[in-house]
Structure 1
């Protein structure tokens, strides 16, 4: 669970009993969240509040609280790691010391970031690699861009480096368009809202926003809306579309709080992978069947062949 390391500054050894426990708990949480999003849309969200769900939520909250208590920045004068890097929890603890956060705020922000990033980053990276493997000419163009920035290989990727990958930016955005990790989101209307003449959403009505379908509407994305085409995100093409035609991280004041973290993670992972490895698959793009659960999944996961680049 890379997100535990980067958010909390703590590594849980893969394969350990603790790791299996945490993974199982997050799987239960994801399953219950999916059920809740469906049941809540018809006023039956309370049915998901089972003893198993409450026990799992309590376990995960206690885990996060324990990791916060063990964090060195609570005791040290400095909030910096020896190498100058900071995990999210260090920033949250620093905000608490400055009076900007309460202890409860630190717990909530840390838990939210871990829960929200569970699976999602891995799904997007996998989807991007699948799409690139199915479109070798796009993969090669992305690779050439990465190699032009890192001709001798990669030792580290810094934040300022990310400005040097305009084509990879488009590849990632297009992967997020076709395979949004959260395909549906729910909202509740605060006030009665008129969308257009004759269409009004009553106050407190539950609204489901189908991001997956929105990203494939031909009225917004053209007749080839279902095809993988990074040029959809050329500046000129973006300017022609409604700003809400693309909402991989939602929109408005309740958009994804981890959007910057997610974007940085995706870029670093793909830059590193594409620089060293070449991906291919015999699976056909037209044979992909997505399963829109709380997080996007595949009916059959395409297998990837990996070749080390010289």
Structure 2
């Protein structure tokens, strides 16, 4: 018994020492940081009253220009991180020394949880190879072939918006309709399915998409373990995907692939390109091909990455336009003028003429970036000109894009919505890495062309057909954000007055 007690005391003492050492890491190195609270680190109010990106934003503004180095220390529970406070160092991390910061350190388990082994999560040479294989599927030429499909769904969006606006008479919650629009667009392009979620709000495709984002396999506490020790979690054969979601998407992709191959169906969409790569693999070209699990993971992340981000951006844009009627009027005048020039039809070429719409979307993503921070992990030691500011292998690095987007050094009066910030001369005056809604460098968002295209189509059609205004009692001003979501999204939705635009 005495030996057991001594062992227990020894283990307890070591655990206390280890925790103390860990939470004194930045202090021992004399790196500026806020004092952590065990076990939360610097995030005791995370998912309660504070959004994760808001923590990074506060830290950025607290320490920017007040230290002798390009980053400050931070603890996200037990994970030690460096938060970038110098814009030139952001460029170093994302572009200049990408070879030292090419991974995100996100959980993936290819063996047991195949949907997690996607382009967003995987690392190293495997990521590089997959990126090279997928890049040709997102060229402007490929986007042009998908445009008519998106336009068909856009017509459904206008029809359903008109019905809902007539039925509601007073106000409309727009985020749900916009999510159903992007679900139909990506469901068609990525899976070749006519999802009909705009017509049927209970469509299984949308419900599973929502579950994929909001449901937890183990609960929030284990999510922290998946985030804090992703490699260990994978070795323990843990999974992130909810089983019903995994089964649903795997079965859909299998059925789609089997049907198209058997019947020689071609739709010139994203799924066609993935099937071509699978057939290459099946025929022995493993260098250029992909396995079934690999194409399933890419189709899944293509849906997940574009489903909520694009619809949320559209919701934020309509909120800003409702808050700034003169900007909405100017935008509608441009859309109407371009459509009139092209006989009332929106096509790929006429879409590209809507330059003010592009600026409205950019300013929306500047002010309210759905992805509020970028995460990287040092894959090897980084040495700075100031020797104190080295970064050890395995340390997380945060580029706080939401904070950078609201830095008055780069964007004067950052809380104001000013699309003219994205006039060419103003863009040229700003340093690199000051606009990061899609990231930057070799690991930027591969689907940014597609994401922008579906947002432009949806916004052009909506502004051409409807007027959006703040509701005196239902619209929340200022907009509030959910604190329990990794992405930036509105709390309780966005309620606006929606009315038909009279056509002369």
TM-score between both structures, scaled by the size of structure 1: 0.84
- CA deviation profile, 1:56-78 (whole Å, cap 9, x unmatched): 1x433333332223224322335
Question: Which residue in 2 is equivalent to 1:218?
Answer: 408
Alignment of structure 1 residues 1-310 onto 2, 5 Å: 1-2=183-184, 3-13=186-196, 14-16=200-202, 18-19=204-205, 21-29=207-215, 43=229, 54=240, 56=242, 58-71=243-256, 72-77=259-264, 79=266, 81=267, 86-98=268-280, 99=285, 100-102=288-290, 103-151=292-340, 157-194=346-383, 197=386, 198-222=388-412, 224-282=413-471, 287-291=478-482, 293-299=485-491, 301-310=493-502
- Worse overlay, 173-182 or 250-259: 250-259
Q: Cα RMSD over matched residues?
A: 3.4
Question: Which residue in 1 is equivalent to 2:69?
Answer: none
Q: For 2:450 and 2:460, locate their aligned partners in 1 and report how far apart those are by CA, in whole Å.
A: 15
- CA deviation profile, 1:32-56 (whole Å, cap 9, x unmatched): 8998886667558868999996461
Please tell me whether Structure 1 or Structure 2 has the larger radius of gyration of its CA atoms. 2
- Worse overlay, 235-244 or 189-198: 189-198
- Worse overlay, 185-194 or 14-23: 14-23
Partners of 1:186 and 1:207 within 8 A in 2: yes
Q: Secondary structure, in 3 states, of the residue corresponding to 2:432? A: coil
Q: For 2:460 and 2:264, locate their aligned partners in 1 and report how far apart those are by CA, in whole Å.
A: 35
Partners of 2:209 and 2:304 within 8 A in 1: no
Q: Secondary structure, in 3 states, of the residue corresponding to 1:201? A: coil
- CA deviation profile, 1:215-242 (whole Å, cap 9, x unmatched): 10111112x1221100111111111111
Deviation, structure 1 residue 108: 2.1
Q: 1:46 to 1:115 in 2, by over 3 A?
A: farther
Q: 1:20 to 1:49 in 2, by over 3 A?
A: farther
Runs ≥4 residues deviating over 4 A: 29-55, 152-156, 282-286
Q: For 1:213 and 1:267, locate their aligned partners in 2 and report how far apart those are by CA, in whole Å.
A: 25
Q: Secondary structure, in 3 states, of the residue corresponding to 2:352? A: helix
Question: Which residue in 1 is equivalent to 2:25?
Answer: none
Partners of 1:31 and 1:294 within 8 A in 2: no
Partners of 1:36 and 1:45 within 8 A in 2: no
Q: Secondary structure, in 3 states, of the residue corresponding to 2:394? A: coil
Q: 1:236 to 1:286 in 2, by over 3 A?
A: farther
Q: 1:288 to 1:77 in 2, by over 3 A?
A: closer
Question: How many residues are aligned here?
Answer: 303
Partners of 2:195 and 2:203 within 8 A in 1: no
Q: Which segments of 5 or more consecutive residues in structure 1 lack a partner in the other structure?
A: none
TM-score between both structures, scaled by the size of structure 2: 0.54
Q: Secondary structure, in 3 states, of the residue corresponding to 2:409? A: helix
Partners of 1:89 and 1:110 within 8 A in 2: yes
Q: Secondary structure, in 3 states, of the residue corresponding to 1:70? A: helix
Q: Which segments of 5 or more consecutive residues in structure 2 lack a partner in the other structure?
A: 1-182
